[in-house]
Amino acid sequence: MAQAEIKPSAPPLPFSSGARYLNREMSRFDFAERVLSLAEDADQALLERVRFLAIWGGHVDELFQVRVAGLREQLQAAPDVLSPDGRNPQQQLASIRARMKVAVERAERLLTEEIKPALAENEIELISAADLTKSERAEITELFRSQIFPILTPLAVDPAHPFPYISSLSLNLAVLVKDPDRDVPRFARVKIPQVLPRFLPVSRPTRLIPVEEVIGMHLPALFPGTQVLQQHPFRITRDADIDQLDEDVEDLLAALRQELRNQRRTAAPVRLEVDAGMSSEVLDMLTRELELEPVDVYRTSGLLDLTGLWELFHLDRPDLKEKPWTPVTQARLRQGEERDFFSVMRQGDLLVHIPYESFVTSVEAFINQAAHDPAVLAIKQTLYRTSGPINPIVRSLIAAAESGKQVVALVELMARGDEQANITWAETLENRGVHVVYGVVGLKTHAKTTLVLRQEEGEIKTYVHVGTGNYNPKTAATYEDLGLFSADPELGADVGELFNFLTGYSRQRRYRRLLVAPLSLRDSLLKMIRREGTRIGGRITIKLNNLADTEIIDALYSASQAGAEIDLIVRGCCALRPGVPGLSDRIRVRSLLGQFLEHSRIFRFGSGDDAVYLIGSADLMQRNLDRRVEALVPVLDQALRVVLDEILDSSLADDTHSWTLSPDGSWERVPNKLGVNSQLRLRELALQRGTAMVNTDA
């Protein structure tokens, strides 16, 4: 490596902590608002706007389940503890609630005034009960009697029937009925089963009515002999964060299963969504029974549960969507059947950029070939988030175990939202002969690594994959990620020692290639950041999902003050203030949101031949650096570093789907002057790489 010229280190930071950081919770809300802005963008294809509105609904649900729930718990346990930007929990909750009221109105207005009329112009109608013709009412009534009525269970509330448990995110009807014998209004709750579609077709597949309206039309069938006085849809959100399990539990799987059962019954409500016409009588009863305050109530005259709009997006209307992308097979994997995966990897490291390049013909093919190769002795893999019941990677691991190979799967049971699915997969794998482990006590395992051990000419060779995304075929179709395949023996030894750390009592702290959290990653990143601050022409470019660790942020500030130029591409939460005179003059932050979810983490320190390039699983959050097992791997091959440069440079040049962060914390859309769409550009580059390789082979 060339020796860089050294400068004096930066002076101490001149700003108080409250002025140095943006609020993490507000930044998460900012991200949700950027997603909502995409739904409002009339230049998007119509069903893509519907998709972004559904995504926004899901982000808001998660924000309440985790962030708002966490702040409420902090308010009870430590109300005076301040966030890094100087706000107490009450102030943060008040800010979120105020902004959420405005966002709900935006979403309601968007759906009612723009999207529904535009859908109708394209022969997709969202109708209400009042829009039904006489013949359509008869059709709906028959559908209700045959397919809906048998699975409904109305639950009364009276002295003999306590207020029922209402599950999180379920859609319900609050019903007031009057018994003619007693002339006293009674409350009942009707849960809308999740097995029912969100929308039911009337007359034709694209004339749709919400399922709650159909049930509401037929409430007399559920309460015969009574008068239905009122009916109102509502939905509650509960705390979804599972408490850290006791480190002394003997059976983590059983303990988590019990914790999930407990959580379903005891998780505190944090939000109540109701229709705008709900009477004060019904609303007061709901808030009282759920132990919520008026500030926790969100009224809407639109549709409850916007995640249900995914059903509209999946309609067969390609004319209303972005042109689908078919991932290309990575160029070096297109060289004919005689060139197997292992021989390709022995020729040099391989970098696959998903979904521009195919997950199926790279990651899945690698695991599948290893599972069926008689020379393979063992496969070790981490699984953080799995997909549905037909995950081909899990099938390959089972096939490998049943053929007599040593197969180890580290299943992270505590992956938020996927706990139950991961329990199911863990039991399935274990029952089929896979050795299942759950990692290091007290740490989530978030690293994305696979190790294959193969017998070759009397030696055991190692083949590894280190990625930025989960081994999940479903998300691989829409999440932008990177994966490095390598036969480098030093990297193989590192990954082997990482698995020893995860499965045994190893306390390996130093690795040859890998940077591993919580062992060496934080210190290594700080050293690289500080190094750029002491070099003439220091340069840092980082692409990641979230940036909130204050020690890392302060190091970036110091490097900026010392003269380093810093570009950060942060998809979601960012607590760093860029462009503040005297603090972060040379730091620029942008966010990129497009058809694919930007998910890869890329770190580039320096420039030229002595630059350091890293990819991996870690964001720059305290949890990633201190409370998770994460892995970053250096990319050493010059041709692969060029690919990373193309990704970073395209992201920084994008003026189609990008926002920039201002010093005051506001996000502004980048003006579209040159029409640079980084995701389209990366598709073109993937195609060009494949064409160039084919021409070279010819």
- Residue 237, both tokens: 């959100």
User: Which candidate in 59, 232, 353, 446 is catalytic?
Assistant: 446
- Residue 164, both tokens: 């029922």
Tell me how many degrees the CA angle 207-211-214 measures, rounded to the nearest 5: 90
SS3 state at 303: coil
Q: Are 419 and 242 in contact (CB under 8 A)?
A: yes
Task: Provide long-range contacts, Cβ within 8 A and 24+ apart, for 461-464.
Answer: 461/342, 461/487, 461/489, 461/492, 462/487, 462/489, 462/491, 462/492, 462/493, 462/495, 462/496, 463/341, 463/342, 463/345, 463/366, 463/370, 463/487, 463/492, 464/488, 464/491, 464/492, 464/495
SS3 state at 202: strand
SS3 state at 577: coil
Tell me whether residue 446 is one of the annotated catalytic residues. Answer: yes
As a dihedral over the C-alpha atoms of residue 195, residue 198, residue 204, residue 206, rounded to 10 degrees, the angle is -140
**Cβ contacts of 36 within 8 Å, gap of 6 or more:** 52, 53, 56, 103, 106, 107, 110
Q: Are 317 and 265 in contact (CB under 8 A)?
A: no
Nearest to 394, CA basis, from 362, 361, 426, 358: 426
Tokens 């003439």 -> residue: 536
Rounded to whole angstroms, the Cα distance separating 286 from 172 reads 12
- Residue 31, both tokens: 């991200």
What backbone torsions phi and psi does residue 2 show, to the nearest 5 degrees?
-70, 145
Residue type, 129: A
- Residue 376, both tokens: 């393979």
CA 589 to chain centre: 21
Nearest to 64, CA basis, from 264, 269, 234: 269
What backbone torsions phi and psi does residue 471 show, to the nearest 5 degrees?
-85, 70
CA 38 to chain centre: 17
Output DSSP code: residue 330.
P
Nearest to 168, CA basis, from 234, 99, 102: 234
- Residue 30, both tokens: 């900012």
Region of 225 on the Ramachandran plot (φ > 0 left; ψ -120 to 50 alpha; else beta): left
- Residue 353, both tokens: 């950029």
Active site residues: 446
